[in-house]
Amino acid sequence: MTIKSLRRGYHVIKTALHFGLDELLPAQKTPWYFKLARACLFWIRNEHKDTIGGERLKLAMQHLGPVYIKFGQMLSTRRDLLSDAWAHELAMLQDRVPPFDSQLAMQAIEEELKAPIDSLFDDFDPEPLASASISQVHTATLKSNGKSVVLKVLRPNVEAQVVADLQLMSQCANLLEMLLGQGNRLRPAEVVEDYRLTIMGELNLKLEALNATKLRNNFLDSDALYIPYTYEELCFPRLMVMERIEGIPVSDIDALKAQGTNLKLLAERGVELFFTQVFRDNFFHADMHPGNIFISRDHPDNPYYIGLDCGIMGTLSEEDKRYLAENFLAFFNRDYHRIAQLYIESGWVSEHTDVLAFEQAVKLVCEPMFNKPLDEISFGHVLLEIFRTARQFDIVVQPQLVLLEKTLLYIEGLGRQLYPQLDLWQTAKPFLEQWMAEQVGPAAMLDKAKKQLPFWGDKLPEIPELIYDNLKMGRKLIGSQQQMLDRYLKHQHRVHKSNYLLITSAVLVICGTLLFEQNATLWPSYACVGSGILLWLVGWRSRPKNRKF
């Protein structure tokens, strides 16, 4: 631990105590040494006694800076762990932070490009277009084609700051886990690990550029989503250059209305996009907060989304996808038993779960939803509530499912904001039904066979050789089996012969003994015993040496 990290640690502890976060721990679970340590820091007082818990946490995170602000934002999406009130407070955290010095930005850009900015760009604007917790965005014109672009550059030293803060966070999380006990539903260590994966993904802009290109290619022919072009040859871990887009922020409903955007179509397209990304492409944008989504200004009657910031993308396994689709369908068919079964079959909950108890719990979650009009039912909330329920049954929620549930909540929230009567089921059902039919119908079989074709194409030339080798091996096998049989028969023959001689010798010895007692002449008796001994010797010698053949 360096002096710097000790100072940072002290700053974090001071902030936590200053906002009274220690008082939020249940008193009965706080051990004596924790209370003693708190008493030793008596000069740091809780100055927010009148503020409620969620708000105190929000203020503390705001005070601690960008890494904690982003952590708070992520935490706000873990509604399976936090109560709605706390999640609501944390969702209000804004990571629009003051820009950093343009000189530093330009220096970082030139270091990555290994060339002066004006050798590649015209009109570079030192005034940032936007400035967020991790990066800052500047506009320019690309010299080679005259197109408007943006340069997204990481904040100076942001990686070191993130790593140091993460280390501290995971130490605090481990301490908290110790205080609250392993079984606590907050699972601080798991949450911090989840955050680590998320934020580390955002720290590599080269990776973000690759994600953006992949998503762009998936939707090249789409009239629902546009992803700006990234100039991959100008993308590096700390710098990303992409096409500049013009759009209306999706949260600016007034501006969307003013230009006559077809909001119903837009909301429905949002749901379609989600299902297409998850089920068709298995590659979904998992950071769809309103700051990353813009709406086209052209043809507002047929509007499309513009997506930015592909740092966090999600994928599901084929199995998870199928279980998820079946889950949605089972939910709308009110088949709670099937939902419970699906959770167990998929391995999302332990196989030792009491299915009936779990089914009852799922029913308690789902049934009230059906008393609502369809346009008020929320897939995201259903999934969220089922996760919360499943936690009581010791579910290990897969990170990719949490990402998906979070994205679904965003999409739904967005859709309902755009068009409050949005009927998610009507929009999603045809898609899901078609997808399921494609998975299990004859077309799916044909498709799977088609997918196997390259494999068989590869293996086909080897088949005659394999057949020849197998036949040869078969012939050898028959030959060796025949030899084994011959050996066995010979062995049996020797065993029988030896047994016959031994029994005969025993009979002759017995006869010789009887003759010896009854006859005055002794030679027949000696002859019997002698030939008996001779036969015994021959029989003993002809015995097979070992029992194996």
Match 């960008």 to its residue by tokens.
66
Residue 228 C-beta: closest distance to ligand ATP, Å: 4
Assigned token pair, 414:
């967005």
Assigned token pair, 337:
């038993």
User: C-alpha dihedral over 196, 197, 198, 203, to 10 degrees?
Assistant: 80
Binder to ligand ATP among 72, 228, 512, 539 (CB under 6 A)? 228
CB atoms within 10 A of CB 211: 20
| C-alpha to C-alpha distance for 83 and 260, rounded to whole angstroms | 38
Under the binding rule (CB under 6 A), the answer on residue 105 touching ligand ATP is no
Element (H, E) at 294: strand 293-295
Under the binding rule (CB under 6 A), the answer on residue 97 touching ligand ATP is no
Contact 86, 53 (CB under 8 A): yes
| C-alpha to C-alpha distance for 38 and 60, rounded to whole angstroms | 17
Binder to ligand ATP among 80, 95, 326, 423 (CB under 6 A)? 95
Q: Is 130 annotated as a binding residue?
A: yes
Residue 309 C-beta: closest distance to ligand ATP, Å: 4
Residue 202 C-beta: closest distance to ligand ATP, Å: 6
Q: Is 129 annotated as a binding residue?
A: yes
Q: Is 392 annotated as a binding residue?
A: no
Q: Is 13 annotated as a binding residue?
A: no
Residue 317 C-beta: closest distance to ligand ATP, Å: 27
Contact 286, 329 (CB under 8 A): no
* x/- letters, 50..89, toward ligand ATP (CB under 6 A): ----------------------------------------
- b (16+ CB within 10 A) / e for 63-101: bbbbbbbbbbbbbbbbbbbbeeebbebbbebebeeebbe
- Pick out residues in 277-306 that bind ligand ATP (CB under 6 A): 291-292
Binder to ligand ATP among 11, 196, 244, 416 (CB under 6 A)? 244
| C-alpha to C-alpha distance for 327 and 335, rounded to whole angstroms | 9
- Pick out residues in 130-169 that bind ligand ATP (CB under 6 A): 130, 132-135, 137, 150, 152
Match 């907060």 to its residue by tokens.
289
Q: Is 287 a catalytic residue?
A: yes
| C-alpha to C-alpha distance for 324 and 284, rounded to whole angstroms | 15
- Pick out residues in 116-135 that bind ligand ATP (CB under 6 A): 129-130, 132-135
Question: How many H helices and E strands in the chain?
Answer: 21, 11
Residue 231 C-beta: closest distance to ligand ATP, Å: 11
Under the binding rule (CB under 6 A), the answer on residue 309 touching ligand ATP is yes
325 alpha carbon, distance to own chain's centre? 17
Binder to ligand ATP among 153, 308, 382, 501 (CB under 6 A)? 308
Residue with smaller CB distance to ligand ATP, 117 or 529: 117
Match 């394999």 to its residue by tokens.
466
Residues lying near ligand ATP in the complex (CB under 6 A) are found at 95, 129-130, 132-135, 137, 150, 152, 228, 242, 244-245, 291-292, 308-309, 311
Q: Which residues are annotated as a binding site for ATP?
A: 129-137, 152
Annotated catalytic sites, by residue?
287
